[in-house]
Structure formats: structure tokens, C-alpha cells
Amino acid sequence: MKKEIKPVLFIVNPQAGNGRCAKRFRQLSRVIEGKYPFEVFFTAQRGDAEKEAGRAVQKGMTRIFVAGGDGTVNEVINGIGKADVEIGIIPFGTGNDLAKAIQLSRKPKAIEKMVLHQERLKVKAINVGQINNRHFAIAAGIGFDGLVAKKANESRVLKKLGALGYLFSVFSVIRAFQPMTIDVQADDASYQLKNGWLLAIGNGPFYGGGMKICPTAKVDDDQFDLCMVHSLTKWQLLRFLPKVYSGSHIHLKNYVHLLRAKKIAVDCHSLAVSHADGELIDATHLTITLCDYKIRLLTPE
């Protein structure tokens, strides 16, 4: 009896990559048409990818390709939970920080090869983090960068600009931002930041479209890298900002503190805006933990 081939699900965010994702996926779908059974789901609004990924799990699907950016991938990760599903990333977004972390090529020929010759793909298991009730694969941020993510998410113009929009959001948010007191418990160590700007919890090295906020973080080392930024003036933050793109900000010992931990508890003395892979969370208390499972990402041979 011939073995039944389960269809592959493609979850596509047509608005990703400044709206170019839809066209790029149509071109890609012509390459695989007739090669194997597949289904396509186009998202229309935030939350659609998460719901569809959950439905796919209920239907018994075991392989999902995500065409879009980091936010769409984040929704799929939250949608599948602990299910034994392999995820392929088609990096048609603007930032694509997770794709960078696992060294996926954005070149069209490489993407075509990946989706056309799936029998050659390998599986890379990576850690998943949880901040309160939201999961993340790249990074979580608290404080200033949470507000920056919120500003970028709420503006259609800034979202279309991708990494550049994130940078513009920095300049917009910094004028009104007030540093806060933040209590941090990282495993067995305690810290208090009296002039705290931000905390970035990195599962991988990049966020915000290529910023190396936690340059030594690895997606599969079973721990987080924590970057705490404090005691800066607004002028110093702007002056030091370019260093984040190279990761050299970690040498600013008077203002940047790095450590590694598996469990982190954060208490902000005022309401803080936070994010998980750019998805927003408002809270004064946050608990960040490594999940007891890993997600399985498809990578080229």
C-alpha cells in the first residue's frame, strides 16, 4: 500500500516585507505546484497565524512553512505549543532576526531549493522562552525597547520601513521616556536598576531588524542572555546606539550589564511595556522562563 503523503501547510502573511510577501510567495508557489500536496492560508489580521497553526495541529499536520517576518513566526510558535511540528521559515519579512540566528539565506534560489527539496532538510531544535503567558524564540524586551516596539507596531508607516522604522521609533520615544527602577532576579542573583532603561532577554543574538543586543546568545544553549542597560542620559543612549548593531555596546561596562540565566523575574516600579518577539505585553511584573520543550526548525543540508 502506498504511504499517504501528508500535505504541507504554508501560512503566509501577505503584508510582510512591506507588502511584497504576497507577490514573492505567488512566485514561489509556482515552483512547487504539483510537486507535493500543500495547503495555503493567508493571514488577514494579527492573531490569524496563531489560530491557523492551532487548527493545523488539531488536523494532524506535522510540517508548517511560515512566509513572513518574525511576528508571523512568533504567532505560529504560540499556536503549535508543544506539538510535534516542524517549522520552515521563509524569510519574506523585513527583520527576519530568527532566520539570521539560524543562518537561513534570503536569496530566492536558496529559498526555492529549501521548499522544493524538503527531503534534504535537516531539523534544528531550538529553545523557546516564555514571558508571562507569551512564548518567544528570538528575544523579549522590557522598558524602553518595549515602547519602541509599540511605537513601531502602531504606525503603518514605521512598520513598512522595517529596521529603519525601528530606528525612527527610538528617536520618537526617547523624548518622553523616563528611566525607571527595576528589580531583577536572575536565577540566584538579585539586581536593582535605579535608572533602568531596558532589559533585553536574548534567546538569539538579534532583534529589531539586526541589532546585536545579546551578541553571544545562542538559540540552542538552554539559557538566556540578559542585557541590562542603565544609568544613561538620553544623549548617551543616542550616541551609543550604533554600537548595538555591531554588538560592541557590551563593552560599556558602566552602563551595560550582561549575564546568563534560565529563569528571570522582573518587577518594575511603574507599568512597563514589554514585548516577546515584538508582540506587546503590558505589566509591572514579568516572569521569563525556558520552556521544557524545544521547537523544531527546518534548515538546509
Number of domains in the chain: 2
- Whole-model pTM: value is 0.92
- Strands (DSSP E) contained in 20-138 are 38-42, 63-68, 86-91, 122-131, 134-136
- Residue 187: what residue type? D
pLDDT, tens only, 169-209 = 888 889 889 999 999 999 999 999 999 999 999 999 998 88
Among the three residues 74, 92, 120, which one is the final residue of a domain in this structure?
Answer: 120
pLDDT digits (tens, 9 = 90+) for 243-256: 999 999 999 999 99
Q: Is residue 127 part of a domain?
A: no
Q: Are residues 74 and 170 in the same domain?
A: no
pLDDT for res 45:
94
State the pLDDT at residue 295. 97
Range of the domain at 189: 134-291
Distance CA 54, CA 35 (A): 26
Same domain, yes or no: 55 and 175? no
What pLDDT does residue 1 have?
38
CATH number of the structural domain spanning residue 266: 2.60.200.40
Domain end: 96, 120, 144, which one?
A: 120
As a whole number, mean pLDDT of residues 87-91 equals 97
Same-domain pairing of 146 and 270: yes
Residue 142 lies in a domain: yes
Residue 83, domain CATH: 3.40.50.10330
Q: Examine the domain organization and report whether 51 and 140 are in the same domain.
A: no
Q: Are residues 62 and 139 in the same domain?
A: no
Residues 92 and 153 in one domain: no
Clarify whether residues 157 and 237 are in a common domain.
Answer: yes
- Band of the pLDDT at 283, cuts 50, 70, 90? confident
Q: Is the domain of 45 the same as that of 191?
A: no
Q: Are residues 69 and 149 in the same domain?
A: no
CA distance 146 to 272: 8
297 within domain boundaries: no
Q: Do residue 180 and residue 237 come from a single domain?
A: yes
CB burial of residue 299 (10 Å; 0-12, 13-18, 19+): middle
Q: How far apart are CA 208 and CA 210, in angstroms?
A: 6
Domain final position from 120, 153, 185: 120
**What percentage of residues in the chain have a pLDDT greater than 70?**
95
Among 37-46, 111-120, 275-284, 285-294, the least confident range: 275-284
Q: Rounded to the nearest 5 degrees, what angle is found at the Cα of 25, between the Cα atoms of 21 and 30?
A: 160
In a domain, 152, yes or no: yes
Q: How deeply is 236 buried, as exposed, middle or buried, from its count of CB atoms within 10 A (0-12, 13-18, 19+)? A: middle
- Is 14 inside any structural domain? yes
- Exposure of 249 by Cβ count < 10 A (0-12 exposed, 13-18 middle, 19+ buried)? buried
Domain contains 301: no
Specify whether 98 is located in the same domain as 145.
no
Between the alpha carbon of residue 225 and those of residues 2, 6, 12, 70, 93, the distances in Å are 48, 38, 31, 19, 25
